[in-house]
Amino acid sequence: MTQVLAIGTFNDTEAAALTEAFGCRVLAEVDGLGGLDQAVRDAVTAVAFKGHQGFGAAEMAQLPGLKLLANYGVGYDSIDVAAASAQGITVTNTPDVLNDDVADLAIALWLMQGREMQQAADWVRSGNWAGEGAFGLSRKLSGSKVGVVGLGRIGREIAERLAAFKCEVHYHSRSQKQTPGWAYHADPVALASAVDFLFIALVGGPETEGYVSKEVISALGPRGVIVNISRGSTVDETAMLDALEAGELAGAALDVFVNEPQIDPRFLALPNVVIQPHQGSATHDTRAAMARLQRDNIAAHLAGAALLTPVN
């Protein structure tokens, strides 16, 4: 009876690696737990988890011997960590290995939105360049005033890249950090008032729900653009859509949405919004590194060694 169970949206390569390493079976859905024999569930001490389905107290109760819930991804807002702690379950995630990719995508979203690259590409493909002449003018981005909400490891990677674009970097986080002279704002509204481009790099979960509020969006103003690579939940999405439709916000560039992948259709009608399908960490190298770190945490658990990246 294997101690490891994999649950979630693993691709074939990842599933094969888990099976080879641990002889575990792979369930596509959390709901599949109920279909397992009691004896199989009782034997499980570690779960490899991937995806955005909720994993809470009810699921944990079905695995009475569970000691490790190893999440694939840096964000673990699908997991009820308090419930896990209460049952003596350690949660691990896969931080750091994806910082570069997510920061790269944030910069790409910023550039693509500001320089109107999708519209410019369409201008060529539609024949308008040849038929009607030059595409219009867009917005200079180097040298902009930019703000980062949440100066964790990903936020810092974003800010360091923006500094190379000669931007004036501002940030907001719970406490002031050691930085190369970036401007700290204790209040997110003050941050939004000071900048034109707001990059959201918060962790997800209940504590940050709607953190980029209607007031923050209003303070960002009609020249403001929101770039979000964190979680859809961190922004008051309705307030953002209202502001975009009313011209009270210049644009948005989003990799994440409240109800992804069934995103609000209002986004699709807005030409000044760049949309990506939550692909922040979705490169071959990085996803392989995330899968490896998840397996390494499970292997450490099985060997009785210290876990690499515990979160509780």
Enumerate binding residues for a second copy (CB under 8 A): 9, 100-101, 103-105, 107-108, 111-112, 115, 117-118, 120-121, 123-125, 129-130, 133-143, 160-161, 163-166, 260-263, 268, 274-279, 282-287
Judge whether 192 and 224 are in contact, CB under 8 Å.
yes
Residue 22 or 182: the one with the smaller Cβ distance to a second copy is 182
Q: Read off the amino acid at residue 46.
A: A
Active site residue 278: yes
User: Of residues 231, 287, 295, 301, which has the active-site annotation?
Assistant: 231
What tokens does 251 get? 């644009």
Q: Please identify, using beta-carbon distances, which residue of 117 and 307 lies nearer to a second copy.
A: 117
Peptide bond between residue 277 and the one before it cis (omega within 30 degrees of 0): no
The total of other beta-carbon atoms located within 10 Å of residue 139's CB is: 15
CB of 263 to a second copy, least distance (A): 7
Only one residue has tokens 């729900």, namely 209
Closest CB to a second copy among residues 165, 184: 165
Q: Is the dihedral of CA 205, 154, 293, 24 positive or negative?
A: positive
Q: Tell me whether residue 272 or residue 276 sits nearer to a second copy (CB atom).
A: 276
**CA–CA distance, 304 with 302 (Å, rounded to integer):** 5
Exactly one of 209, 215, 248, 260 is catalytic; name it.
260
* Beta carbon nearer to a second copy, 164 or 246: 164
Task: Say which amino acid occupies 213.
Answer: S
Q: In whole angstroms, how close is the CB of 31 to a second copy at the nearest point? A: 17
CB of 108 to a second copy, least distance (A): 4
Q: Can 260 be counted among the known catalytic residues? A: yes
β-strand partners of 199: 148, 227
Task: Provide the minimum distance between the beta carbon of 119 and a second copy in the complex, in angstroms, as a whole number.
Answer: 10
**Shortest Cβ 248–a second copy spacing (Å):** 20
Do 233 and 77 touch, CB atoms closer than 8 A?
Answer: yes
State the Cα–Cα distance between residues 260 and 257, nearest whole angstrom. 5
Residue 204 CA: distances (Å) to CA of 73, 208, 219: 12, 6, 22
Please give the span between the terminal C-alpha atoms of the chain, in angstroms, as a whole number.
28
Instruction: Name the residue type at position 58.
Output: A
Q: Take residue 158 and report the two structure tokens written for it.
A: 């974003």
215 is catalytic: no
| Residues identified as active-site | 231, 260, 278
